[in-house]
Structure 1
Amino acid sequence: MSELDTERTEVRVKLPRYQKEAWIEDAEEVGMSQAEFVRTMVQAGRNELGLEGSGGAGEDASEEPPSEGVDPRGGGLEDRVLEVLRREGAMDWDELLEFVAGDVEDRLDEALGEVQEGGLVIYSGRDGGYVLTDE
């Protein structure tokens, strides 16, 4: 197995609202989270420009299993596990978990951001976590 740094980090991008709305619609159309959609599109652009080997660690560290056929609600996990093992070789539990759970963390972070932005949820230290607002 190659040594890849799979720790997640956040990237923020400023773009016109209409463009974000278009990306949201496109992501929904292909059954992806917004984060997965942007990662996939950036990787596709890098590949198109011939930059597939510039991800660091001796190979493309940003490459993830393809999203085609993956059910964003959890189905297809078996396919994702098989794909990662084919590509990376033997992995222990923690390594494999990092590959398949990272997207869930991204989706939760994205969903919490959206419901907080919409005023439906706030974080309350007093209540010990996220709580619904009075809508």
Structure 2
Amino acid sequence: MTDDGDEDRETERVSARTYVPAYQRDIWDDHADRLDMSRSEFIRSMVQAGRRGYTGEDIGETPGAGDAGDDRLPAIASDAVLTALEQVDTVRYEELREILVEDMTRALDAALDELQAENAIIHTRDEGYTLVDDSGGGR
């Protein structure tokens, strides 16, 4: 059973202030307008999206708490959308999807190259990728 006072504290809205250069506020306002959001909604959502890329250790939580990996893809998608919209005023859904697929493909290729260079994984012709065991071969 929860105390009603605890529930009120969890949903109570409080002010959090920051000071940024006027040009930065103007950029945020422009993005917020494009997303049909208020400045407060935009800043809140961007802070939350930004936090998704950090591990629990970075934000003072117990390592492994929560599933941070599940939250990274929406943050990556948000960044890609905002980057695309900074370059052009309007982008169709299909174009955004293509941009994301290309970005993720490049990231996957880079990750596979890096893991192979570190001898953490190997690629076998018939079976695909596999972890390298301690003896230097595949599992």
TM over 0.5: no
TM class by shorter chain equals: 0.3 to 0.5
Larger Rg over CA atoms: 2
Greater per-residue helix proportion? 2
Give the structure, 1 or 2, with the largest relative contact order (CA under 8 Å, sep 6 or more). 1
TM-score between the two structures when normalised by the length of structure 2: 0.37
TM-score between the two structures when normalised by the length of structure 1: 0.38
